[in-house]
A = this chain, B = another copy of it.
């Protein structure tokens, strides 16, 4: 039997057919063109899956389930995208629409939840049953896996780990509050802080590495400059690791998962990121050495996590 996973992104719709060993045996994508009516986007999702099935000679009776990872606030019980800012969607009945094309069970969840489930099923957390994933990108998404299943809150709008306080009253967050985790540990926040440091310290190599144009700043530059011994960059990196360490400590104190995963471009830093974080949380987590301290690791599946996770939503949903 096979499962289909769909990763609905702002740029592309990606779909894959996943086998029982959690391998993606076929994969394709089409542009999302978000400005279209949602019915057209959902029809394209269906066609993408049908094409992949045909390509591999798999009949629809061999398709056990379809899952979709979608941005936005999801009502997973009813399969509705309640709200997605990027898509301009409100109350889009995603699973109901897709059911016109398929007879197997269909589920939808937030994209960060799907990525977390994918890493637990086949990636960096595949020996774990309880994991927290933080996606460190433009924003910060959160995925919570408890007992091998996605936990998205009792009602719609849960698992928004990026929208919990780090420094209440601090940097403005996209959600309207001030001082959320997202406003300190997203790639956007790291870039903002690196730009500020570059402006404050004109002699910092942060400026040279941007060729004097701070719009070239990215999440790699402060790490590179710190590696070269630039003091301003070192402070940016140390502060960032401190923010991320406090964030992880918070979620460990709540969930005590087997493992905490990070994803996003920042993970290219590898152990330069995870080792100081592990040291940090050992020192800070409640109960210290008396309580369990999880590993901190980088996600390994990249974009495939979303597809594999989405494909496993049905089996991974019921508690």
Residues of B within 8 A of A102 (CB): none
Question: Interface segment, A60-68, A153-161, A227-235?
Answer: A153-161
A50 sits at the interface (CB 8 A): no
A284 to B155, CA, bound (A): 16
Residues of B within 8 A of A170 (CB): 167
Residues of B within 8 A of A96 (CB): none
Residues of B within 8 A of A161 (CB): 253-254
Minimum CB distance partner of A175 in chain B: B286
A151 to B256, CA, bound (A): 11
Q: Is B286 within 8 A of A73, CB to CB?
A: yes
Can you tell how many copies of this chain the complex includes? 2
A255 sits at the interface (CB 8 A): yes
Complex partner residue of A155 from B179, B247, B258, CB under 8 angstroms: B258
Name the interface size band of chain A: 35 or more
A175 to B290, CA, bound (A): 13
A87 sits at the interface (CB 8 A): no
Q: Is A253 within 8 A of B164, CB to CB?
A: yes
Residues of B within 8 A of A166 (CB): 165, 168
Given the interface pairs A166-B168, A175-B286, the reply to whether A292 lies near B253 with Cβ below 8 Å is no
Q: Is A167 within 8 A of B168, CB to CB?
A: yes
Q: Is B290 within 8 A of A254, CB to CB?
A: no
**What are 6 A-B contacts defined by CB distance under 8 Å?**
A83-B287, A83-B290, A160-B286, A164-B165, A164-B254, A319-B319
Binding site for B on A (CB under 8 A): 73, 82-83, 90, 129-130, 142, 144, 146-147, 151, 153-161, 163-170, 175-177, 179, 243, 246-247, 249-250, 252-258, 284-288, 290-292, 294, 319
A130-B154, A157-B252, A160-B254 given; 17 more Cβ-contact pairs under 8 Å: A73-B286, A73-B291, A90-B290, A147-B319, A154-B255, A155-B258, A155-B291, A156-B287, A156-B290, A156-B292, A158-B256, A165-B166, A165-B246, A165-B247, A166-B168, A167-B170, A177-B284
